[in-house]
Structure formats: structure tokens, C-alpha cells
Amino acid sequence: MKLINITSYLASFFIITFFADSQNRIIYITVAAISLISQVLLFWKHDKKSFLIFLPLLIYALFLGFLQETLFIHLDILTYENALLFPPIWVLAIYPLFSLCLNSSLSFINKNLSYAFLVGGFGSITSYFFIEKMKSVSINGGIAYIFLFLSWGIYLSILTLLNRKLIAIREKYTCPTELKKPITAFFDNQCSFCAREMENLKKRNQTGETIYACPATHEDLSEITTAFTYEEAMKTIHALDHQGKILKGTKTISAIFARADLPFLAISLQAPVFSYLFNFIYIISAKLRPRHK
């Protein structure tokens, strides 16, 4: 799998950079898409652990890569033909493909950030030197190589830290021992959407234990717990874990998803940065959800 992973990346890298100065963008976009899709399918089939975290990692790589390449352009470190303000699509297409190596052929860098920094630094110099020979970019002066080394060393170190966080979240929401520890989820049965979704989750293959509670009154809730009020439970979805710890909002939803055999969604909701975005969306949607009396 690791050999296929690095071979696919290098082949895509060479093809994309070879056609970078071509006016026909369809060629390198198609190559990037085929490589990305095939790699993801291989993860799904043979490496479920990498598959579960590929999407947020891919987005991190692309976003940080866009910022980095834009910085290179505005600091006159690199010059791309016909790209005065923002990096060309072809170079951005390489970043998501590179991110797929972090948990496969480059998984060793997760053990030590110094590995990540050195691989990023030396790898970037080699890559940009090759791209320059292909006449797809101009490296502006010797100082540019030092800047590329440092910038890519920092870039890959940050990406590695984010990847470590994703791995920790993945372990939390896929550990069979943890999932077998029951949680009690309290949802609003007067919200038709909430009730329907909870029913759908109940019908799924359960990889853990979730007790679904839908108290209709203060008294109903007090018979189960007094850890929070009925108003709080109806305002935001709550749950209690096996130790009585309170979970709220998207943390509750992720815990339920993980136990309903939806680890990909559970992890994505709690991914760094994305967790704040999803929590904000949840708060807004919870306030606007229709309720029947």
C-alpha cells in the first residue's frame, strides 16, 4: 500500500508539472482527480484508518498550501507564469495529493516533528528545482531556497501536528472499548427533524451503546438525571457518559454517530478548526428548528 501510495503521488506530480504550462487545464486537473479518487478508494478498501481522516487533512493541506504559495508569490520568492496574485491551479492540485502520503508512505514523520521539518525542507528544494527545470516556475535567487526550506519545514510540521490531532480523535471514536461504554442521549421529541434522525440512527448497525431518551417534561427528565434542566436539554442536545460527564452539542452528536457506525462523520465534526464551524452551524440550526406542541 505504501509503495502504491508514493508511486501514485510521484507519477501525478511529474505529469501535473509536465503539463503545467499547457493551456489545456483539463489534462492536469483530470490526472489530479483520478489520482486523488483512486487513492481514497484504496484507503477505503485497504486502510480504513487513513480513510477516516483523509478529508479534513486534505482540506488543511490545500488551505495552508494556498496561503504558502500566495506568500511565495507576493514576497517574490517564486514566479509563476500568468499568476501575479494567487498560485496557479496546477500547483494547488499537488497539495491534496501530498496530504494522502502523511498516513501512508510518509507516516514515519508523525513520530518526530524534526523528521517533518527536514522532509518538508529538503523535499521542497528538490521539488521546486525539478519544477523550475520543467520551466513551470522561476526561483528568484539563492535566498529563495533558504526561504523555501524554512517555509516548507514549518508547513509540514503544522500539517503533522494537525494530523496527530486527527489520529487522536480517530482513536477516541473508533476504540471498541470506549464505544461499548454507554451514553444516554437526550433529544427533543417535539422537533420532527430531531425525532426522525434519532429513529434513523437507532436502525443503523450499532458499534456501541446509546440509550435514547426523549423527556417531554421537567418531571420526565428529573427521573433520569438532575445534571441539567429541561430547558437546557431542549435548547441544545445533551448526553451523559457512563461516568455522568455531560456532553453538549456536536460532541454529543459525534458520540452518537460513533456508536451508530458513522465514525467518518463523528471524527469530521470534531476535527481541529472544523469543530468550531460545525458547532456554530449547530447552534444556529438548533435555534431555528421547528417544534410542534
Give the separation between CA 69 and CA 92, rounded to whole angstroms. 8
Residue type, 220: D
Helices 48-74 and 263-270 meet at what angle, rounded to 10? 30
Q: What are phi and psi of 260, to 5 degrees?
A: -105, 25
Q: What is the pTM of this model?
A: 0.91
What are the residues whose beta carbons fall under 8 Å from the beta carbon of 24, sequence distance 6 or more? none
Give yes or no for a contact between 252 and 185, defined as CB atoms under 8 angstroms apart.
yes
Each domain of the chain, given as residue ranges in start order, spans 2-174, 176-288
User: pLDDT in tens for each of the 293 residues of the chain?
Assistant: 889 999 999 999 988 888 887 667 788 788 889 999 999 999 999 999 999 999 999 999 999 999 999 999 999 999 998 778 899 999 999 999 999 999 999 999 999 999 999 999 999 999 999 999 888 899 998 899 999 999 999 999 999 999 999 999 999 999 999 999 999 998 887 788 887 888 898 889 899 999 988 888 888 888 888 888 888 888 889 999 988 899 999 999 999 999 999 999 999 999 999 999 999 999 898 888 776 65
Q: Compute, in degrees rounded to 10, the torsion defined by CA atoms 150, 129, 67, 13.
A: -120
* SS3 state of residue 61: helix
**CATH number for region 176-288:** 3.40.30
